[in-house]
Structure 1
Amino acid sequence: MENRRYVMEYKVKIDSFEGPLDLLLHLINKLEIDIYDIPAAEITNQYLMYVNTMQQLELDVASEYLVMAATLIAMKSRSLLPDHSSEDDEFMEEEDPREELTRRLIEYKKYKEAAVKLQELEEERAKLFSRPPADMLFAQAGEGPLNVSIYDMLGAFQKMTRRKKLAVPRQTTIRREEISVETRMKSLMNKLTKAKEPILFEDLFQSHEKEELVVSFLAILELMKQNEITVTQNGNFSSLYVMSGGKNK
């Protein structure tokens, strides 16, 4: 049995990462958590899973994600301690760290919703013009926005890798052939171009080898960034589908 060795030649920085608060809001929506009563243990475990996946994929994880991870771990540890509130008045006056986090999340959510509203107003304003300025008529199409968030992509990758671990093939002697991210991008584009309908995200990962899974994922992200493919989903947190052609093509 032959196997190919995928080579990660560079790290990918995805602009869609908006910060740890954005990830926390994504998890709160996904887990249907009350933002005013955040379960420290559950949200911490989920957050660390995402950060760990980013690091495995060698994505550029900003230090602010790690600072938030440390904050959540401390918050989780505090929630596991015995409740001494009735014995120590000074302990009663200590602020619950979840309250500070809730305030930050609510404030961030307001700014994010305001940004979306401003973008909608900008798009409405743009419709008032019959055509763009003359010097833009021949401009190349820029990178199109993702139909799904980077956190949706990471969540789909997590689920896919867990399923792969449950069905690991028998070990065998193999011959390794090095393949770069660029080569994987070409093979993915070839497969997607020939497909008559969108392909399920998980179906693009045929191997059980970690290196191959990671490089395939990086190739998909890079193709999205270059506006060569589009990833969609029918509803929030539903299965992802990939098709050739960017949103603006």
Structure 2
Amino acid sequence: MMENKYHIKVDGFEGPMDLLLHLIQRLEIDIHDIPVAEITDQYMNYIHRMAELELDVASEYLVMAATLLAIKSKVLLPNQSLEPEETEVEEDPREELVERLKEYQKYKSAAQTLREKETEDNEVYTRDPMEVGGETLEQEATVFDMVDALYRMFNKTPPSPEKDRETSVKREEMPIQLTMDRIMKEMDARTDGVPFEQLISVRSRTETVTTFLAMLELIKNHRITCVQNNHFEGLYVYKWEDNDER
């Protein structure tokens, strides 16, 4: 019988342009001078990571991967057809991608402004920024920030051979809904944020991945939120609050 695995569609949270902007911000890259080889390698690493976590990578991610690989090949293998005396300036193969990224940034900014306006109009209020360790946490983490945090966890504590074998356990043996209920029960018992690593650290790699998928579903359903002050800093998970719960 075919194994029935639980999948979360990544494009329900972020898209390939979001991933590119995440990498550009994380690597502190000038959007007008993108090192295509490095960005392509980093992008492909994320695709492999998300596939390993059984996130259902949408076809748009694969199209972008092909686009990046094509640009990378053009940059690394310049056109040799021109004679030495010819002075025609070739178009930068990155130009179209840069324009798409700039346009997407404008779209995201406009969408964020509309969401904030809608929130004001509906008089819905989320949790006030929380101070942790003397710093205010107010930046909502992306799914890519969470993937980063999860992989840092795995690299700090490599699974034993016994735990490696547990990854073959069928997902239905640890239902996502039960895991979601467990997370919400823990969140209900807390008045402050729960560190991401504390919430997701369970007995095996399989259970950790299941917990990660459950957290993504809860975020998608606006039941919890995950915040991060700066890239590579700790993530904190909070129960979603609105005016009906106050």
TM range (shorter): 0.7 to 0.9
Q: Provide the C-alpha distance between the structure 2 equivalents of 1:94 and 1:9, rounded to a whole number of angstroms.
A: 48
Tell whether 2:71 aligns with 1:75: yes
**Match 1:188 to one of 183, 193, 197:** 183
TM-score w.r.t. the length of structure 1 is: 0.72
1:33 corresponding residue in structure 2: 29
Deviation at 1:208, TM superposition (A): 7.1
Tell whether 2:155 aligns with 1:162: yes
**Match 2:93 to one of 79, 94, 97:** 97
- The CA deviation string for residues 121-172 of structure 1, in whole angstroms up to 9 with x for no partner, is 4445556xxxxxxxxxxxxxxxxxx93222222222232233233xx34648
Q: Provide the C-alpha distance between the structure 1 equivalents of 2:180 and 2:61, rounded to a whole number of angstroms.
A: 28
2:206 corresponding residue in structure 1: 211
- The CA deviation string for residues 39-77 of structure 1, in whole angstroms up to 9 with x for no partner, is 112111221122222222222322111011011122223
Tell me which of the two structures has the higher relative contact order, counting C-alpha pairs closer than 8 angstroms and 6 or more residues apart: 1
Give % identity: 47
1:247 corresponding residue in structure 2: 241
Q: What residue ranges of structure 2 are gaps of 5+ in the alignment?
A: 124-138
Larger radius of gyration: 1
Q: Secondary structure at the match of 1:109?
A: helix
Deviation at 1:27, TM superposition (A): 1.4
**Match 1:225 to one of 199, 206, 220:** 220
Tell whether 2:112 aligns with 1:119: no
Q: Provide the C-alpha distance between the structure 2 equivalents of 1:34 and 1:27, rounded to a whole number of angstroms.
A: 11
The residue correspondences of 1:43-82 to structure 2 (distance < 5 A) are 43-81=39-77
Q: Secondary structure at the match of 1:38?
A: coil
CA RMSD of aligned residues (A): 3.4
What letter corresponds to residue 48 of structure 2 in structure 1? N
Q: Secondary structure at the match of 1:34?
A: coil
Higher mean alpha-carbon deviation, 191-200 vs 148-157, is at: 191-200
Q: What residue ranges of structure 1 are gaps of 5+ in the alignment?
A: 1-6, 128-145
